[in-house]
Amino acid sequence: MHQVESILSEFLEKQPVSGKIFIAFSGGLDSMCLLHAANKILGHLIAVHVNHQLQPEANDWEAFCEHQAQYYQIDFHALKIEIQNPESNLEAQAREKRYQEIAKLMQSEDVLLTAHHLDDQAETVLLQLMRGSGVDGLSGMQSVANFQTAKLYRPFLAVSRDELEDYAHSNNLKWVEDPSNLDNKYSRNFVRNQVIPLLTDRWPAATKMLARSAVNLSEANELVKHQTLVDLSVCEGSHKHSIEIEKLLTFSQARQNFLLREWFILNNYQPPEREQLSKIFSEVIEARDDAMPALKTMQWKVTRFNGFLFLLPAILPEIKDKIIVGSDQLKFQEIELPYPVGRLEIKLTDNFSVMQKRISIKFRSEGDRFKLHGRNGTKKLKKLYQEWQIPPWMRNYVPLIYIEEECVAIADYALCESGYSNAVLKITWQPPQKLDWR
């Protein structure tokens, strides 16, 4: 058995697969070796070729891959994608699109095998260094990773490109060559074609040492992540998008930075750059006590409220029109309102005829005043929201419940004096989980 097959076999023994096995099959040398070796060891594969439609030969490569799959009696899927802006970070766009389309074919127990190898890992580490990455980025590619709801395996990360070439020649394999791999305007190609040869001239084992560093850093990153999750559990609020500032500040600056990055990741956002982290502290945490500070990007907003940091979506939609509540909705009591209002449960007395009265949900307007049940005089809605400690990002979405044209309740905070006060038994409001603060 060739060493390439031995490595693949040992990897799969340690990482058994209960579902289907997909192979990312470009038709190049690396994926051709993976397809051939996996077919000998496993069988029952599904080869997936993604046609990026970027090269004149793209359709020929797809036909080649289909022919190879037929020759080895392997199921084959061809997917076509379009890159909207090929001049901007082509490699990242292509990878994201490619993985999105492949994931649509897979179930939770399935696995995607890719042919990333040791030389690819060395290139990745160098690229991450040039981006100023931390321990997470410098860990490089992981041999086992989550892939949407499925898994991604990279069994060749300890296999060099030279070993794959030897395997290919030993088995008389055919493959395609992508001419764009010679174009050094792409950063990875520049590293592969210019930087790596220079390094290996001086240090012949350079790629192996870079890949070894990735393994060492991956182990260090695992320890850091474990400690960070412990730290996060100490200061996380009642919702995972909130952090108690006082507890956060008990940690060292380094632990605070790791904690905030992990907080972003757990909330499905890209972790902030170092400059953004610095601004979270200087512009949000350290802002004066009476301020309502926020740091905002195109994707997210970090703000401070009642001693907590909150991580929120950058933009929330406007809701201008009132919402008419139908009698059929009231029969089930719980009403799903448009995002970002949330859910509302309204219980009315049995003798109240909803068929004869119009019930609607409205939202605050400038200068709104209401008389609350059991309290003297009218109150400005703005003052009531402050009194109830409703955060600024939700004040436009607090549901005001009307029967006919009389406000009977302000969410589940208070009943209003009206001719229908006796009609309401109970109101419960549940804001969306990602915006909740209570």
Give tens-digit pLDDT for 235-277: 999 999 999 999 999 999 999 999 999 999 999 999 999 999 9
Claim to verify: residue 336 and residue 290 sit in the same structural domain: no
**pTM of the full structure:** 0.83
Q: Are strands 111-113 and 150-153 parallel, antiparallel or unpaired?
A: parallel
Claim to verify: residue 335 and residue 430 sit in the same structural domain: yes
End-to-end CA distance of the chain: 62
Q: How far is the CA of 101 from the CAs of 107, 347, 354, 394, in angstroms?
A: 13, 46, 48, 36
Claim to verify: residue 195 and residue 62 sit in the same structural domain: yes
Claim to verify: residue 372 and residue 277 sit in the same structural domain: no
Instruction: Look at residues 156, 178, 212 and tell me which one is the last residue of a structural domain.
Output: 212
Q: What tokens does 183 get? A: 């174009």
Claim to verify: residue 11 and residue 158 sit in the same structural domain: yes
Whether residue 355 has pLDDT greater than 60: no
Claim to verify: residue 205 and residue 275 sit in the same structural domain: no
Q: What tokens does 313 get? A: 């979506």
Give the chain's domain count. Answer: 3
Claim to verify: residue 191 and residue 244 sit in the same structural domain: no
Give tens-digit pLDDT for 162-203: 999 999 999 999 999 998 889 998 899 999 999 999 999 999
Domain membership flag for residue 225 = no
Claim to verify: residue 349 and residue 291 sit in the same structural domain: no
Instruction: Look at residues 313, 338, 358 and tell me which one is the last residue of a structural domain.
Output: 313
Instruction: Look at residues 260, 283, 313 and tell me which one is the last residue of a structural domain.
Output: 313
> Is residue 254 within 8 Å of 320, Cβ to Cβ?
no
Claim to verify: residue 164 and residue 70 sit in the same structural domain: yes
Whether residue 341 has pLDDT greater than 90: yes
Domain membership flag for residue 318 = no
Identify the CATH number of the domain in which residue 23 sits.
3.40.50.620
Domain membership flag for residue 230 = no
Claim to verify: residue 26 and residue 152 sit in the same structural domain: yes
Whether residue 325 has pLDDT greater than 90: no
Q: Are strands 369-371 and 144-147 parallel, antiparallel or unpaired?
A: unpaired
pLDDT at position 312: 97
52 pLDDT band (50/70/90 cuts)?
Answer: confident
Domain membership flag for residue 352 = yes
Domain membership flag for residue 231 = no
Rounded Cα–Cα distance for residues 137 and 121 (Å): 12
Locus of tokens 């703000």: 303
Domain membership flag for residue 375 = yes
Rounded Cα–Cα distance for residues 165 and 169 (Å): 6
Rounded Cα–Cα distance for residues 135 and 353 (Å): 64
Q: How far is the CA of 423 from the CAs of 368, 402, 416, in angstroms?
A: 23, 12, 12
414 pLDDT band (50/70/90 cuts)?
Answer: very high
For 273, other C-beta atoms within 10 Å of its C-beta total 12
pLDDT at position 352: 61
Domain membership flag for residue 127 = yes
Domain membership flag for residue 151 = yes
Give the range of the structural domain holding residue 381, as residue numbers without chain letter.
323-435
Claim to verify: residue 43 and residue 177 sit in the same structural domain: yes
Lowest mean pLDDT across 74-88, 162-176, 258-272, 341-355: 341-355
Claim to verify: residue 285 and residue 327 sit in the same structural domain: no
Q: What tokens does 260 get? A: 């905030």
